[in-house]
Amino acid sequence: MMQNKNILLGVSGGIAAYKACALTSKLTQQGANVRIIMTDSATKFVSPLTFQALSRNDVYMDTFEEKDAAKIAHIDLADWADIVILAPATANIIGKLANGIADDMLSTTLLATKATVYIAPAMNVNMYEHPAVVRNMNLLTAYGYHFIEPGAGYLACGWIGKGRLEEPEAIIEVIKSHQEKETLLAGKRILISAGPTREKIDPVRYFTNQSTGKMGFALAEAAAEMGAAVTLVSGPVSLEISSNKIKRINVTTAEEMFQVMNVEFSSHDIVIKSAAVADYRPKITYDEKMKKKDGKLHIEMERTKDILKSLGEKKAHQFLVGFAAETQNPIQYGKGKLKNKNLDAIVINNVSEEGAGFGSDTNIVTYINSKSEEHEISIASKKEIARSVLQLILQDMKDDVV
């Protein structure tokens, strides 16, 4: 897994910097090409010469020291890296990265790289638990950075608690495991719909629903992390995509989503319709704002096109997955949808259940495939639910090939 990988190791100033020496040695022994950037504070704990000897490469410390006049060092390193490891990561460098501060060689390179970044914190337990540090780590996680949690025990400062840099062997195993997951969907093209639709009444009013798009966006980001080429068709939501590996197409109405999904369908291997599309729309819409009148207002509604059914009718090689958000008899209704719309699998959730409703950061679902095999996924973050659903889809696709 590490053979011939270009690994950029960022070492910031903490007593745990000595462990970065062992990490450099072990990565090199496993065939990786390792280059090191040290902060000025890090050089107070370990000599740059030590890392140079272990990696057999130059060590970088100064943004303005260009070792090759033909290249801008921090951009060249950022582009060169397949993987970036920040170990140890102090509260200071985590804060810089989270807030876009680039005032030295390491922070500048970190902001410039598009490589996968793994952050291994090491600091006093009270610093690790400080609200500002917790906020910065949560922000970086949302940006797509991967944290390798520190161990708990006796710290160099004398405190006992969480904050000890994870051992080099464990850091490498975490990275290997994550890298393996990143290739699970390599070569697959996945089409995902997310969010609500809006059906216009007049220029200021519309019908919609409570979907926030969180589940669909979680699926898109998880699929991209697993190596897939993802197209996300999104209704109007306030969410942003953190991955540059996802192609996003914004739509507003059910008709627009129908058109885009049908156009994109043939070029994708896996299609997941998690969007909450309006079943009805006003038969008549108005170009001017409707004025308030006495008495009742009657708006005649007409059916929108059934996106999932249309895809089920035309599918060839695609693995087609639907979502069923129900409030009563969810399994019964979900199984009916699975069969009637010619799906390969359906993900069912009871939106009235605590922890599974619209807008929630968690979900509880049941995955059922065309063989009527049921897999219950208990309450978890929508990102974790997404990973579980994608792994079940992969397993079903393998079983179908066999």
Counting residues of the chain whose pLDDT is more than 70, the rounded percentage is 96
Check whether 154 has a pLDDT greater than 70. Answer: no
Instruction: Determine the longest span between alpha carbons in the chain, in angstroms.
Output: 85
Task: Give the tokens for residue 92.
Answer: 């200071």
Please list the residues that pair with 160 across neighbouring strands.
Answer: 154
Q: Please, which residues have CB within 8 angstroms of residue 351's CB and are 6 or more apart in sequence?
A: 325, 326, 327, 357, 358
The answer to whether 21 is a known catalytic residue is no
> Is 323 marked within a binding site?
yes
DSSP letter at 224 equals H
Most confident range (mean pLDDT) of 143-152, 206-215, 353-362 is 206-215
Q: Please write the tens of the pLDDT for every residue from 244-256.
A: 779 999 999 999 9
pLDDT: which is higher, 251 or 67: 251
Check whether 275 has a pLDDT greater than 90. Answer: yes
Among 373, 323, 318, 306, residue whose Cα is nearest residue 216: 323
Q: Kindly report the average pLDDT of the chain as a whole number.
A: 91
> Is 68 marked within a binding site?
no
Q: Please, which residues have CB within 8 angstroms of residue 127's CB and are 6 or more apart in sequence?
A: 91, 133, 163
Percentages of the chain per state (helix, strand, coil), in multiples of 5: 35, 25, 40
Burial zone of 186 (CB within 10 Å; 0-12 exposed, 13-18 middle, 19+ buried): exposed
Check whether 359 has a pLDDT greater than 50. Answer: yes
Dihedral over alpha carbons 116, 87, 22, 45 (to 10 degrees): 150
Check whether 16 has a pLDDT greater than 50. Answer: yes
Distance CA 313, CA 199 (A): 25
> Is 371 marked within a binding site?
no
Domains of the chain: 6-182 (3.40.50.1950), 189-285+295-401 (3.40.50.10300)
> Is 337 marked within a binding site?
yes
Alpha-carbon distance values, 235 to 149, 300, 314, 375, 384 (Å)? 36, 23, 23, 28, 22
pLDDT of 160 reads: 65
pTM of the predicted protein model: 0.69
pLDDT of 177 reads: 84
Check whether 181 has a pLDDT greater than 90. Answer: no
pLDDT of 144 reads: 80
> Is 289 marked within a binding site?
yes
pLDDT of 402 reads: 46
Q: Name the least confident of 141-145, 211-215, 398-402.
A: 398-402
- The residue annotated as part of the active site, out of 22, 102, 112, 157, is 157
pLDDT of 248 reads: 96
pLDDT: which is higher, 367 or 115: 367
Q: Please write the tens of the pLDDT for every residue from 290-347.
A: 998 899 999 999 999 999 999 999 999 999 999 998 888 999 999 999 999 999 999 9
pLDDT of 228 reads: 93
**Reported confidence tier of residue 155, pLDDT bands at 50, 70, 90:** low
Alpha-carbon distance values, 355 to 323, 360, 364 (Å)? 17, 6, 7
